[in-house]
Chain A
Amino acid sequence: MRSTFLRPANLAWKAASSYESATDSVPLLILPQPVGTGAKAVDGARSMDERSGDSLAAGGAEPVSAIDVRLVDVTKRFGTQVTAVDRIDLEVTDGEFFSLLGPSGCGKTTTLRMIGGFEQPTSGLIELQGQDVTWLPPYKRNVNTVFQDYALFPHLTIFENVAFGLRRKKTGGAEIRRRAAEMLELVELRGYDGRKPGQISGGQAQRVALARALINRPAVLLLDEPLGALDLKLRKQMQLELKRIQQEVGITFIYVTHDQDEAMTMSDRIAVMHRGRFEQLGRPQDLYERPRTSFVAGFLGVSNLMTGRIDGADGAYAIVRLDASTALRLPREGVSDGASVQLGVRPEKIRLVGEGSATADLNVLSGRVRDASYTGVSTQYLVDIPGGSKMTVYEQNTARAAAAGLRRKGDMVGLAWSPADTFVVQPGRTEPAPSRYQEAPDVRRT
């Protein structure tokens, strides 16, 4: 198990209790799978079939990891109208950094709160290390939470805040002092013991909240957008620090965020949530390179989406016809002949070439530059292609690009990219994401 050797011996507090028998109680066809095999949680058992193909292919013979958190068919309704979480299944393995990513109102925080015990699911089952905790109050669960606004106790000192959990367990005074000092050391806040939460900065409060949770040595740490209130620079710094701490203590982290960069930077796996369900679950690079739905394609980074019909095959590639005169190629896997598909390509995969220059092994479209903006690292183009759609292109400002010259508004250009970089998305159960997710050039990505 990966996490076992990452964890320093003195911090190896999690008993190697066995959860192998955990599957017994689960009526569904979900088997524990190793980290990083893609779709582990699915949109309910219904869509299991269409996903199982590639997850099994990548599975290999790695050992089965222990499951720390398991959600089985969990639904949460508020009143009769609002379904915040809609029949989700999830398994998070021991020592994993797992993120729930999605826009506000997608149900990610509700999911986290159900794991923490602050909400009870309307139906479904929640297990922690093989134990059914669905109806246990928060104080009987071996999880701790870092709240979005930290929720430090304003009337207690930093030391007493950190010691709060151990005091409840009636741990001895010397032990509490030792462990609190160790924790404040871990989050680099030595010497702040005597201060009150009102006397420290937001970033420091965030780290106190982390120390206060970690000192209890939970099986799982839940983090509810813990960096949301910090400014960008501090947030970047804390992302790295959180990842460092997670690797140091080897605890499973479940991290809720709406910030795709944050999720991609830190996570082993990400579940993209939308309207109470998982759109897609997998490693960051899988989600980015092979988004399965138009929502994921639009929410993680920028995508250029087109529609076409599969029309025959060419070796490893299927041919997709956009209109009478344009055909593109894309990986054959998972598409059937004659089907109408939505396909996409990331802006940075596209190269601008001279109009009409034939490149046999690439997908080529021609279009007219609508807008060009130089951002330093790259130049971002918005190109009108025939048929009325627009394509975003990020071109690195390399010597080669400079030699070709900056394209100006109105120039005719060719857009070329590798068929392997082309992905197919399902329009999905939900309508496509709002256009701002798809078209707004995301400067941070470049």
Chain B
Amino acid sequence: MRGPARETVKQGRRVRRLAHLLDRWLLPLYALLAVSYLALPVLVMILFSFNDPSGRSNISWRGFSLESWFDPLGQPGLAEAVTTSLAVALFATLAATVLGVLIGLALVRHRFRGRSSINLLIFLPMSTPEIVLGVSLLTLFLASTQYAFVPEGTFFPLGFHTILIAHIMFNISYVVVTMRARLQGFPRHLEEAAMDLGANEWTTFWRVTFPLILPGVMAAALLAFSLSIDDYVITVFTSGQATTFPLYIYGSQQRGIPVQVNVVGTIIFLVAVGMVVLSTLLQRWQRPDPVEAVEVEGART
């Protein structure tokens, strides 16, 4: 009897040692692999922004150089492309955020005819392939020239304004979806309390509702900005003569991508990372997220 029992104990120990090994090494190793899979392309991009290229291509490592970093826009057309991209992203974000927040408020707050179909339609731009959206937008813009009631030049020739229209269109969906999730848990009685204390609808919105949904609005705006600044597929159909940064990269890759593209890409990457770090720090510092704090409060009581 003693023999098999000892065997069992030994076996148990072996299992525990294995589990320990798994905890200690295997999972971290797996995590490392997964992270490097995600990070490697970015790292290569950053590394090659310090390349000292010979000729046009920036494919093989030739040696360290800071030359491109001192002149990040020093390629013909690159400055214009980056400016266009930034302008499109900025205006599209502003417009989509304002419209999206209002749509989100309406959808969450009110029951009206057609509400459920709008709820569904909001997902359409997100679920439709971008290329389909791009093509249909192009068709729409072209078709508009046949109608007398559309003033000439409104949509055609294509350009900055048509890119903007397209970007606002697909950004609205993302803003609405973000805001809707955010607003669903919004404590409505806070608005009632504000009105009870003498604030009319306008004051209530700006003094109570808006400060409380601001984190959500910021999140939605950042999402919209990042979607807008790197969009290629829809932009290519709606751009006409205008060139955005992604279009510039695609155009130049036939001749060989200049190092400056890596530099600008790295800058965009760093700014994005900086913003994430900043927002995390701010949230940790300032206060718990107000909307969540109320929810937690409610759960506690």
- A residues bordering B, Cβ < 8 Å? 116-118, 137-139, 143-145, 147, 149, 151-155, 164-165, 168-169, 196-198, 202, 212-213, 216, 229
Contacts and interface: CB of A to CB of B under 8 A. Distances in A.
26 contacts: A117-B195, A117-B196, A137-B195, A138-B196, A139-B196, A147-B189, A147-B193, A149-B297, A149-B301, A151-B187, A151-B189, A151-B192, A152-B193, A153-B208, A154-B190, A154-B293, A154-B297, A155-B211, A155-B287, A164-B194, A164-B197, A164-B199, A165-B198, A168-B203, A198-B287, A229-B301
A164 B193 CA distance: 10
A198 B297 contact: yes
B200 interface: yes
A153 B287 CA distance: 13
Interface in B103-131: none
Contacts of A149: 189, 297-298, 301
A51 B172 CA distance: 63
A118 B298 contact: no
Given A147-B189, A198-B297, A202-B301, A153 B194 contact: yes
Contacts of A164: 194, 197, 199, 207
Contacts of A154: 190, 212, 290, 293-294, 297
A385 to B, nearest CB: 44
A144 B203 contact: no
A216 B301 contact: no
B288 interface: yes
Given A168-B198, A216-B198, A151 B190 contact: yes
A168 B193 contact: no
A243 B91 CA distance: 57
Nearest to A145: B196
Contact of B197 (A165, A197, A202): A165
A155 B290 contact: yes
Contact of A118 (B187, B192, B294, B297): B192
Nearest to B199: A168
Given A149-B189, A164-B194, A198 B208 contact: no
Given A116-B196, A168-B197, A212-B197, 15 more contacts: A117-B195, A139-B195, A139-B196, A139-B197, A139-B199, A145-B193, A147-B192, A149-B189, A151-B192, A154-B212, A164-B197, A168-B198, A198-B287, A213-B197, A229-B301
A168 B211 CA distance: 17
A164 B200 CA distance: 12
B193 A153 contact: yes
A198 B200 contact: no
A116 B197 CA distance: 11
A227 to B, nearest CB: 11
Max count, chain B CB within 10 A of own CB: residue among A117, A137, A151, A197: A151
Contacts of B194: 153, 164
Interface in B243-301: 287-288, 290, 293-294, 297-298, 301
Given A198-B288, A198-B293, A144 B196 contact: yes
A137 B197 CA distance: 11
Contacts of B294: 154
Nearest to B208: A153
Interface residues of B, number: 25
Contacts of A197: 297
B285 to A, nearest CB: 13
Contacts of A118: 192, 195-196
Contacts of A165: 197-198
Interface in B148-166: none
Nearest to B212: A155
A173 B288 CA distance: 29
A379 B77 CA distance: 95
A198 B287 CA distance: 9
Contacts of A196: 287
A213 B169 CA distance: 45
Contacts of B207: 164
Contacts of B293: 154, 198
B200 A139 contact: yes
A139 B198 contact: yes
A286 to B, nearest CB: 32
A212 B198 CA distance: 12
Most buried by B among A155, A196, A213: A155
Contacts of A153: 190, 193-194, 208
Contacts of A202: 301
Nearest to A224: B189
B32 to A, nearest CB: 38
Contacts of B196: 116-118, 138-139, 143-145, 213
A109 B197 CA distance: 19
A405 to B, nearest CB: 47
Contacts of B287: 155, 196, 198
Interface in B209-239: 211-212
B211 A216 contact: no
Nearest to A209: B193
A149 B199 CA distance: 20
Contacts of B198: 139, 165, 168-169, 216
A117 B192 CA distance: 9
B53 to A, nearest CB: 52
Contacts of A147: 189, 192-193
A138 B301 contact: no
B31 to A, nearest CB: 34
- Most chain-A CB neighbours within 10 Å: which of B198, B287, B298? B198
A216 B197 CA distance: 8
Given A155-B290, A198-B287, A198-B288, A138 B297 contact: no
B70 to A, nearest CB: 45
A353 to B, nearest CB: 48
Contacts of B203: 168
A276 B297 CA distance: 31
Contacts of A229: 301
B291 to A, nearest CB: 8
A202 B193 CA distance: 17
